[in-house]
Amino acid sequence: MFDFEKIDKVIHEKARLGIMTLLATRASWSFQDLKAQLEMSDGNLVTHLRTLHDHGYVAVTKEIIDRPQTSYSLTTKGRGAFQEYLTILEQIIKAGRP
Amino acid sequence: MPTSTQAEENLRVIRSLMEKATIYRAISAPAALLGGTLAVAVAAAAWWLGGRAAPTGELPFVAPWLVVLAVTSAVNLWLLRRNAHRRGEPFASPGMRLALRAMLPALLAGGLCTTISAHCGWPLIASLWVLFYGVSLLAASHFAPRSLCWLGRVFFLAGSILLVLLAFRADAPPPIYPAVMAHLIMGATFGIFHLVYAACTWPRRIGGGA
């Protein structure tokens, strides 16, 4: 029997899963690019990014390239947690097969 | 408690987002605007000069379009480099290498056709360029945005129709000088199609910053 308590509740939320997925595809993402890709409002995106940052999954970089810009990237802990989350999803699917 | 179905749905979302994130736009909207404008300008100039040079109708064809290609490509590469820098990616990103590998064979084939079919007339060469450009865009359609796929389809369709029309009218006397007709084909396709593409894909600012 699969232990469902293993699943990471921080990542297992639609918006945060989207953010983690995008961050896993590139070295870093600007706030505007994340917002455009995920079609989320400023407030919603900021809240979820803050949650992920508070759990140590996401690093924030503020720099000035032509204009002030905030970019986000996965930390080593975040990348590990995302990989583990994917593994658990696969296990759930396998456990659900007859 | 996540079920197997929910897990599958989450994996599908992850896959879809990852595919979207690896999409590569090989032609930026400002470069398309520049290329389209130059193409229409060259075609208009050819139409005007063609009328003036009616007795001979001889106009240079390949050289002006090579200049348009060089200018537009240089600006496009500069814009792609700037966008890559903004995203913190290398200029020769995996997406760009993938796009080049997919598009180059058709582009080179179009170029080669120019050398071997020069004696067949400029309208045929212009039609082949339109067709092969469409093929090159379609070759990159697996990782290109939908707008570029549509551009590829339109070029492919236009090139095919032009070739069929030229084949049917092979024995008929041309309505206008061949070089002028070829310039008009280029203006109507590379010019107008790219202007429409630029208008549809021009970056729009969405709301405020973080």
* E strands in B118-208: none
Two tokens, residue B163: 């070739």
pLDDT tens per residue, range A2-32 = 666 778 889 988 899 999 999 998 888 888 8
A chain contacts of residue B85, beta-carbon cutoff 8 Å: 65
Say whether pLDDT at A87 is over 70: yes
pLDDT tens per residue, range A29-44 = 888 888 888 888 999 9
Residue of A20, A25, A69, A97 best to disrupt the B interface, most CBs of B under 10 A: A25
Two tokens, residue A94: 């396998």
Cβ-nearest to A35 among B8, B88, B206: B206
pTM of the model: 0.67
Q: Which pLDDT score is estimated for B210? A: 33
CB contact under 8 A, A28 and B14: no
Q: Measured between alpha carbons, how far is B186 from B19 in angstroms, rounded to an integer?
A: 34
Q: Which pLDDT score is estimated for A59? A: 95
Nearest to B122 by CA among B57, B69, B70, B51: B57
A chain contacts of residue B5, beta-carbon cutoff 8 Å: 96
pLDDT tens per residue, range A45-82 = 999 999 999 999 999 998 776 677 888 999 999 999 99
Say whether pLDDT at A92 is over 80: yes
Residue B119 is classified by DSSP as G
Q: For residue B106, what are the contacts with CB-CB under 8 A and spacing of at least 6?
A: B132, B133, B135, B136, B139
Nearest to B113 by CA among B56, B62, B154: B62
What share of chain A in percent tops pLDDT 70? 92
With the CA atoms of B103, B109, B113 and B114 taken in that order, what torsion angle do they form, in degrees rounded to the nearest 10? 50
Terminal-residue alpha carbon distance, chain B: 34
CB contact under 8 A, A24 and B18: yes
H helix intervals, A1-98: 14-25, 31-38, 42-54, 76-96
Residue of A26, A45, A47 best to disrupt the B interface, most CBs of B under 10 A: A26
Q: For residue B75, what are the contacts with CB-CB under 8 A and spacing of at least 6?
A: B30, B31, B34
A chain contacts of residue B4, beta-carbon cutoff 8 Å: 92-93, 95-97
The mean predicted confidence, pLDDT, of chain A is 87
Two tokens, residue B52: 């003036």
In this prediction the ipTM stands at 0.77
Which residues in chain B land under pLDDT 70? 1-2, 51-59, 117-118, 174, 204-210
Q: Which pLDDT score is estimated for B207? A: 41
Q: Measured between alpha carbons, how far is B40 from A23 in angstroms, rounded to an integer?
A: 41
Q: Which pLDDT score is estimated for B16? A: 81
Q: Which pLDDT score is estimated for B177? A: 80
pLDDT tens per residue, range B61-83 = 889 999 999 999 999 999 988 88
Q: Measured between alpha carbons, how far is A57 from A8 in angstroms, rounded to an integer?
A: 12
Identify the H or E element spanning B115.
helix B94-116
